[in-house]
A and B are shown apart, each in its own frame.
Chain A
């Protein structure tokens, strides 16, 4: 439903977006990740028709955003960066305005507004001016505005920014509930959000896609993927460390002091090896006093850093 081809945008000499290709199908929730200034917002602005691309194209439900912006924009619900809204209006007035602009009137407009208000839990603040609302409510007004017309495509720039954990949870639940019927792109800095709601994660860096896969595929790239961590009393640490190193499939073991005289040992697998079984068998056989034992799925932040830490590291590589 979203087809992006070779999208490029330059601001002066800097290429904010340098040729992005993406296709998002119905039922997909795509998490758009990247460091600040990677081009996430710029890409979203081009896809929604706010910025004109230098080259490339974006099609929404078959409509080219450049050629037929109105048809494309009808199919999009868009939450711009910072969830802008008219501060002097109340959420009710604002949402009614959006409903009217989107071609609903009378009872249809009212029921659209009511549904959106219900889904985003805005009832309590419906008649307060938006400028007096907290950050979380403002964000939810933006969300309500985006889902009001039940669009097939949702594009949201940091939908949970500024929300408290409960609000984040309810927004994620809302997104997941809508996901089967829609193609959704959300940008976020929160890696846990990707694991929580996204079916696909795309990392962009300096205007290019540098990784594209399911969250578990990205996790598999992590050094911690399938690593096993044990927490033991400090007295047993040395022996355990040595035994773990000899274990089949273990590439290396890291040791960190932990609270209350315990030590955290993490055994990293050789590629593809599964360690949890052999490590737990070993611990039983050796009668270690294990306080905790768990296998790690991998760490997204580690993958994220590995992929996007560029400038300094790469510059050093090139020089040497």
Chain B
């Protein structure tokens, strides 16, 4: 566990050593605002809650999270620092976890900086702050799941553009699998079990369950096991690449 910390710290500070962090945070906050106020009609709804704000998180993450995860491994591979990193006396899992947690913490910082909207809604009315807190937790978990997917895809290539595009596609499939668009297609012919199975992989389903204010154990298990699954895949992919 001791070796996770230095890896985490290096990775986390690397975001702020380049304009990446600032550009990302500004665009993230701007996009959040634009979606909430203009597309979500936050004011016109006249309801003191943040449901319109959270409703757009999956769609924003879909593009913004792969932008963070794409460089996670691909860049190390391209610049040759991968060789340095993997010949240091650190277990591979610790490297994978350290890098992942750094990216997740960075996303957390960006998410945290949306706090003015929470202040706004509290100023305007009396929202249920429990629901808002649960939604933030859900949003962070969902971002973590997107990141884990993106990290393992980044590990399989040295090309960041490929990492980005493939991650967006895979994340999109995970997002949409509970939407009527997909489910109606399955309902026509598939047994209910399969429809439910496909639906159960949907980030939207689990996320919207949490945004109602109920943090169900099943939703937590879903996100954490998905993260664990993709981080394991990440370890395996890096290890497989060692055999050349």
Contact = CB atoms under 8 A, between A and B. Distances in A.
B88 A102 contact: yes
A52 B243 CA distance: 5
B89 interface: yes
Contacts of B91: 70
A50 B86 contact: yes
B45 interface: no
A11 B91 CA distance: 25
A294 interface: no
Give chain A's interface residue range (CB within 8 Å of chain B): 20 to 34
A101 B6 contact: yes
Nearest to A12: B244
Interface in B1-59: 2-3, 5-7, 9-10, 13-14, 17-18
A161 to B, nearest CB: 14
Nearest to B3: A101
Q: Do most interface residues of chain B lie in helix, strand or loop, or is the interface mixed?
A: helix
Interface string B134-149: 0000000000000000
B244 A88 contact: no
A97 B10 contact: yes
Interface in B82-131: 83-84, 86-91
B242 interface: yes
Contacts of B80: 80-82, 84
Interface stretch (A71-79, A168-176, A206-214): A71-79
B3 A88 contact: no
Contact of A11 (B10, B81, B244): B244
21 contacts: A11-B244, A48-B87, A49-B86, A49-B87, A51-B242, A52-B244, A70-B89, A70-B90, A71-B89, A73-B87, A73-B88, A74-B89, A80-B80, A85-B81, A87-B79, A88-B18, A100-B6, A101-B3, A101-B89, A102-B88, A102-B89
